[in-house]
Structure 1
């Protein structure tokens, strides 16, 4: 995209989370620990999904994609945020700002679509177990994952192009710790009604349609579980869904509340808190949520990082 003549502003200033020095140091240490845990957890899950043959199944293929997304999604935001908490220089170039916006929404929307694919996988596994390997064949898994990536890219590209075409004349202080659509629209010296409408319509359609598909999947799953007479069987079947449901509630609740509200000063303040949850905390918690409730993942992690002999001794 040629952005050269679209604006007189060549760089933005990210105001960040706070300007209180003591609080900045505390937040830096806290967020750095979350980020390191995110890197360790998600890269570990990607590693075991690739290396352990027993995890070469549709569920873990999708989980590996989710962990891969979490790693890069957080990495597109957190390093710049951490540097802003320690350094006086909070500038970001116009082109870097637009690139950050694009990557953030590309990976974020892809996560949304991937979580929907994972709900379909759980539906097939519980409601149609005998046809699972047919309905979730390797080609189907690849199509589900690739369609999530492609759709996420197209979704993000539409917002990126519309935002990059806006003129930014004098105001360049972004009331956020990264470049997002709503804070940038507040700085534009032009009518942003089209951008706001596209944001609401596109985000509303993606969010509500995927939520609806997830709800439908779990309605069928819930109906099927009610027909299982054994309480132990119900618990075992539903245990495979609780991790996914937890992540869905964390991610969707934050995303919908952020992008389907009008951009007011109060809402932008709340958006910063929501963004911390979705970019810092949730990606770090996802590996913990999935590994703690999944015996196969825990066994594979022990095998990769402790070795076969240690694993055998712990099982004796």
Structure 2
């Protein structure tokens, strides 16, 4: 109880900072405005423009490093730890570890701006996904809706939906978060299906579902469940209609992923492809199906927008062939191919040879 009192006091202090930042101490609908802010973030202020002095409203709605945003970020950061981390010490440890990550402030700022809009029905899982995959920015929520595709993929198919997630520490954290997502849904489903927790069946099912998703995870415990009850269980799996997860895989940012290109013998030639996707893809280059050696003649450069460029110095006839750029991230891979043709330069006579010989 003492811990709860302390936690409530911490959130109350953070809430009071927001009230002072907006000069709302004596406002008649103070509670309405604040409750809306804490649920829907700063963007909800637009509904209350007439309730503020113009200068206060303009400053609060526009300044990303002003008093209001700083106060909101402080409140939500405390909320993450208290509301979601009070019974999950591993989550608090994760937040502390990621506090200096390049995207920590971005995720916190997004929450301060939009409140619970992007936290879905499992804030812990949403926060962890946003922090683990640095490539997730605002466009993944609004422009492409890719975060929703990621959410559908991982909450339907479990950790296995992330094929190339080789970082064991990150896998462990994400598995913990998936357990938090699946636990209430799975246990309610087991209860409705009249399946009892015999010999730790519920926890075993939870481990499998978090790792392999609903269908494959439950099949792993099928032999321990009465047949008619298992049938009820499978029929009531809460799977989303969109389970492909394709849009979270790397994507070639071009109308076609195959093209032809020409170069000139002895000159520098460049081939470029741009890729996008949640988590910045790693790009490897291949020549006629074989890994391309990087040396003095072949150089690969990459830019922050996902463009990978292969530069060939002093192109030779032997450089003709098919060049493949293969982009890989945790969710899969994509390829783009260029067929390079090398042209020879015909000799050009720049002087009158007869005149030169006679001279």
So what's the TM-score if we normalise by structure 2?
0.25
**Structure with the higher helix share, 1 or 2:** 1
**Structure with the higher strand share, 1 or 2:** 2
Question: Highest CA radius of gyration, 1 or 2?
Answer: 2
So what's the TM-score if we normalise by structure 1?
0.28
